[in-house]
Amino acid sequence: MSTGPVNPITLERPPLSDTLRKHSPVIMLGTLLLINAIFTSNFFTIDIVWLIIIQCATIILTGMGQTMVIATGGIDISIGSQMALAAVVCAHMLPYGILPAVIAAIIACAVMGLISGFMVGKLNVSPMVVTLSMLLFARGVAQVLNDGRILYIDQYKNFEFLGQGKILGELPMQIIPIVIVVAVVYFIIEKTAWGRRIQAVGDNPTAARLTGINATWTIISAYVFSAMFAAVAGLVLVSKVGAADGSNMGRLAELDAIAAVAVGGTSMAGGRAKVMGTLLGAIVMQLITITVVMNNIQYEYAQILKSAIIIFAVFIQRESRA
């Protein structure tokens, strides 16, 4: 077959801003570290690393699920409530043993995810509305189960090890769920056909259907996984705190998760999932708090700074107009 005249292919190459976009989470993390190197005394200590791992755990775990959901073109704002639900279910089940408690918590959330996924994927209801109702529903169930009290679980020392323990000397236990969940999601997104389908459905649902993809199941699966990871985050949190508070646990956790995804470079319109980006995004979000606190600035300023970072991240990742 003959080739046509050589088109100026360079014109069709991604512009410079694409390169910037691709590496923006790394650039932001680098900038934050640089700022700390200059302004924060005693920043580069191993304790800071442990602190980041402990404090980032819930954002990373929920962010992973959120990455999958957002990649399908949806959003899950119910994960904070899911965390609380998992914590309360776990606290109730602990008398029957750690494993039953953990499994029950994860199943409870998975059912919530299944309902959300069904309504979005099968009934085509707007994800924002579905998960907003689920936010209220899961929180309500958690509070009912709690009966207005805070359930203390400090007698279950073995369980508390999950959130407070150390392994290999000083390494916080949280590293284990983080590594497992990040590895699992990275594997799903990058290596499996399912991961490709998640992104395909988010990118172009019509084309996905015409390519033989079962969009309904793909969407449902993303919400179920998001809920299950939220459950894991809730378990990590409850074991760290030592008490399950159905009313307040995980409040606004969805915002941190969504922010981590946005900063990480996953397209908010769906279609492009950046698992490692979300990991970095979560660390960036937490690092801002740590930086502010360590420099004796009021915590409120951290929020202002976070908002600026989120806007900046979304700004440089915006679609260039064709």
Partner 1 sequence: MQQEYLLEMRGIDKAFTGVKALTNVDFSVKRGEVHALMGENGAGKSTLIKVLTGIYHKDAGTIIFDGQEIAPKTALAAQALGISTIYQELNLVPFQTVYENIYMGREPRTPIGTIDRRKMIHDAREVLEGMGISIDVQEPLRQYSTAIQQMVAIARALTINAKLVVMDEPTSSLDAKEVEVLFAVIRRLREQGIAIIFISHRLSEIFEICERVTVLRNGELAGVFNVDELDTQTLVNCMLGRAFTSAQRNKGAYAFEDAEELARLESVSWNVRLNGIGVDIKKGEIVGLAGLLGSGRTELCNILFGAEPPDDGSIFWLDQPGDIRSPRDAIRLGMGYCTEDRKVEGLFLHLSVKDNLTMAMLPQLTKNGVVQKKKQDAIVQQYIDRLSIKTPSSEQLVRYLSGGNQQKVLLARWMCMNPKLIILDEPTRGIDVGAKAEIESLIQEFSAAGISVLMISSEMEELVRNCDRIVVMRDGKKLGELTDEQISMDDIMDTISHGASEILTAKEDERT
Q: How open is the CA angle 8-13-16, to the nearest 5 degrees?
A: 125
Given the complex with partner 1, which of 78 and 199 has the nearer CB atom?
Answer: 199
Query: Can residue 21 be called a binding residue for partner 1 (CB under 8 A)?
Result: no
Query: Can residue 272 be called a binding residue for partner 1 (CB under 8 A)?
Result: yes
Quick one: how far is CA 249 from the chain centroid?
16
Query: Can residue 251 be called a binding residue for partner 1 (CB under 8 A)?
Result: no
Burial readout 190-216 (b: 16 or more C-beta within 10 A, e: otherwise): eeeeebebbbbbbbebeebeeeebebb
Burial of 320 (0-12, 13-18, 19+ CB in 10 A): exposed
User: Which span sits near partner 1 by CB under 8 A: 4-12, 101-109, 177-185, 221-229?
Assistant: 4-12
Q: How open is the CA angle 112-115-118, to the nearest 5 degrees?
A: 145
Taken as a whole, the chain contains a residue count of 322
Query: Can residue 15 be called a binding residue for partner 1 (CB under 8 A)?
Result: yes
Supply the minimum distance, in Å, between the C-beta of residue 186 and partner 1.
13
* Sign of the dihedral through C-alpha 220, 223, 225, 228: negative
Among 113, 271, 277, 281, binds partner 1 (CB under 8 A): 271
Given the complex with partner 1, which of 251 and 272 has the nearer CB atom?
Answer: 272
Binding mask 199-218 for partner 1 (x = CB under 8 A): xx--xx-xxxxxxxxx----
Tokens (6 digits) for 144: 């009912």
Site for partner 1 in 86-145 (CB under 8 A): none
Supply the minimum distance, in Å, between the C-beta of residue 252 and partner 1.
29
Burial of 7 (0-12, 13-18, 19+ CB in 10 A): exposed
Query: Can residue 194 be called a binding residue for partner 1 (CB under 8 A)?
Result: yes
Given the complex with partner 1, which of 1 and 38 has the nearer CB atom?
Answer: 1
Query: Can residue 289 be called a binding residue for partner 1 (CB under 8 A)?
Result: no
Site for partner 1 in 135-164 (CB under 8 A): none
Phi, psi of 243 (to 5 degrees): -155, 145
Compute how many residues bind partner 1; rule: CB under 8 A: 38
Among 36, 81, 131, 267, binds partner 1 (CB under 8 A): 267
Mention every residue, 6+ apart, whose C-beta is less than 8 A from residue 181.
60, 61, 64, 229, 232
Given the complex with partner 1, which of 78 and 267 has the nearer CB atom?
Answer: 267
Positions that interact with partner 1 (CB under 8 A)? 1, 3-16, 191-194, 196-197, 199-200, 203-204, 206-214, 267, 271-272, 322
